[in-house]
């Protein structure tokens, strides 16, 4: 349990990160919302928790059970306290969180900056400190904070930032007390007011759009949006692209219609963009392929890199000119740094197989004039070395996730002398031309 911690705010020119001792790395876990909506109880939650354990996903790092909306009665008690639904939780919330803890899982809970939650249950506006005390007593450590039933402007005389700041201030104040939990705050702000420009002052993650759907067009639209804001992510401060729909495939649990190639692309993009990874599909019926995707340790170690907080970002759009906003065909070529090598993600947004190719030095993290070893994070194999260029074929909506590491200088006397030709010059000032 995290004890009383002095909060500090770190400001940078491009983004602001809240470094308060929690949430340095993206959260991994399971969420009740996409699986159950409001139709769940303690037994259902524990069955998903047991599936996390049985599939080896707790061991892989999925250590949080997130209980979303609809866990309480519709009315507070006479003292203004939120009351857990006794039919859903007959043994109480503390019993549930203690049971989860014994299984190796922490617990997260949901509330709202308005009068009610999006499901119509009590929101925390005007009850921030009281509700936080309740959540702490119940054994929770992570708070997803939504944005429904917003008070009139003339009531709050605040903007969205001000209403969220109320809960952030309550978290800071509560952390000063003895034996109090410092909550990790995840803002569910839907992209209104561009939260990636300010939400890091208050919490550790922020939603960038509406609720995800388990079909390719929804994923492509989110990846397109991510193309323009990927650089806003770092330690303690990250874009949240909503839950993982990996298990909702055409060979798995209905009603989703993702292919397994699409599910792999979904997981790869979310993990390498360092979004929180909260599973939104039924794990009790998970196929071996779904478990394999969710448990990809090579990709998860990039998500959970202890030394590099920033995510991958596009270096070329591919089908479209660079910086084209296209929710059907987002950026195809992405790169970034990691503790384990230079990361590349290549995405085929088309409905047919495609030959994908790029020059290594299009990545800022690659050194020119060098040979690189290639590790495939999906086949988990070392695939020899490359020099200057790479090409391969991807299936429809498929993905490649690669780690490249310097393997020494290019052989002497290689022509052409430059990986790219723009203003490449001999010592006498003569440009090299292909």
Which residues does the annotation mark as catalytic? 146, 211
How does strand 64-67 pair with strand 28-31? parallel
Interatomic CA distance for residues 184 and 281, integer angstroms: 23
In the sheet that 205-207 helps form, which strands lie side by side, from edge to edge? Answer: 238-240, 205-207, 184-187, 142-146, 106-112, 64-67, 28-31, 277-279
Torsion of CA 355, 360, 362, 363, to 10 degrees: 110
- Classify burial at 247, counting beta carbons within 10 Å of its beta carbon; exposed 0-12, middle 13-18, buried 19 or more: buried
Q: Which helix (H) or strand (E) holds 221?
A: helix 216-229
**For residue 19, which of 171, 235, 232 has the smallest C-alpha distance?**
235
**Among 246, 348, 328, 227, CA closest to 289:** 246
Token pair 């702490």 in the structure block, residue = 136
Residue spans of alpha helices (H) in 330-372: none
- Give first-to-last CA distance, the chain, whole Å: 62
Q: Which residues pair with 31 in a beta bridge?
A: 66
Write out the H or E segment, with its range, that includes residue 29. Answer: strand 28-31
DSSP assigned state of 267? H
Answer for the pair 123, 115: CB distance below 8 angstroms, yes or no: yes
Q: Are 269 and 399 in contact (CB under 8 A)?
A: yes
* Core vs surface per residue 332-349: b (16+ CB within 10 A) or e: bbbbbbbebbbbbbbbbb
């Amino acid at each position: 349990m995290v004890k009383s911690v002095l909060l500090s705010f770190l400001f940078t020119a491009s983004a602001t990160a809240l470094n308060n001792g929690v949430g340095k790395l993206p959260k991994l876990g399971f969420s009740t919302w996409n699986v159950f909506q409001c139709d769940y109880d303690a037994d259902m939650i524990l069955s998903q928790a047991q599936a996390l354990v049985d599939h080896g996903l707790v061991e892989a790092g999925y250590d949080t059970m997130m209980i979303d909306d609809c866990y309480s009665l519709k009315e507070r008690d006479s003292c203004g306290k939120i009351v857990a639904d006794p039919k859903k939780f007959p043994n109480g919330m503390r019993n549930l969180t203690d049971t989860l803890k014994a299984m190796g899982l922490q617990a997260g809970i949901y509330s709202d900056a308005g009068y009610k939650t999006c499901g119509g249950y009590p929101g925390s506006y005007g009850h921030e400190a009281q509700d936080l005390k309740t959540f702490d007593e119940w054994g929770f450590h992570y708070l997803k904070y939504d944005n429904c039933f917003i008070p009139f402007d003339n009531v709050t005389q605040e903007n969205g930032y001000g209403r969220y700041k109320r809960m952030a201030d309550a978290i800071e104040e509560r952390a000063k007390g003895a034996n109090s939990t410092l909550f990790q705050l995840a803002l569910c702000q839907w992209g209104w007011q561009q939260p990636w420009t300010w939400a890091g002052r208050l919490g550790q993650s922020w939603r960038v759009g509406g609720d995800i759907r388990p079909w390719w067009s929804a994923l492509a639209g989110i990846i397109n949006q991510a193309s323009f804001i990927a650089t806003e992510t770092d330690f303690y401060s990250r874009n949240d692209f909503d839950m993982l729909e990996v298990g909702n495939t055409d060979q798995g649990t209905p009603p989703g219609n993702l292919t397994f190639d699409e599910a792999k692309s979904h997981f790869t993009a979310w993990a390498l963009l360092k979004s929180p990874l909260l599973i939104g599909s039924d794990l009790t019926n998970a196929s071996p392929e779904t478990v394999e995707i969710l448990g990809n340790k090579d990709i998860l170690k990039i998500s959970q890199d202890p030394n590099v907080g920033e995510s991958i970002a596009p270096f070329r759009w591919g089908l479209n000119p660079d910086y084209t906003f296209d929710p059907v065909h987002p950026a195809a070529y992405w790169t970034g740094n990691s503790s384990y090598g230079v990361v590349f993600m290549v995405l085929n947004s088309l409905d047919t197989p495609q030959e994908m190719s790029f020059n290594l030095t299009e990545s800022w993290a690659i050194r020119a004039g060098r040979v690189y070893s290639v590790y495939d994070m999906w086949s988990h194999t070392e695939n020899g070395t490359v020099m200057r260029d790479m090409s391969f074929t991807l299936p429809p909506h498929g993905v490649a996730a690669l780690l490249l590491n310097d393997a020494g200088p290019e052989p002497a006397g290689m022509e052409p002398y430059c990986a790219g030709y723009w203003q490449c010059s001999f010592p006498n000032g003569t440009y090299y031309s292909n």
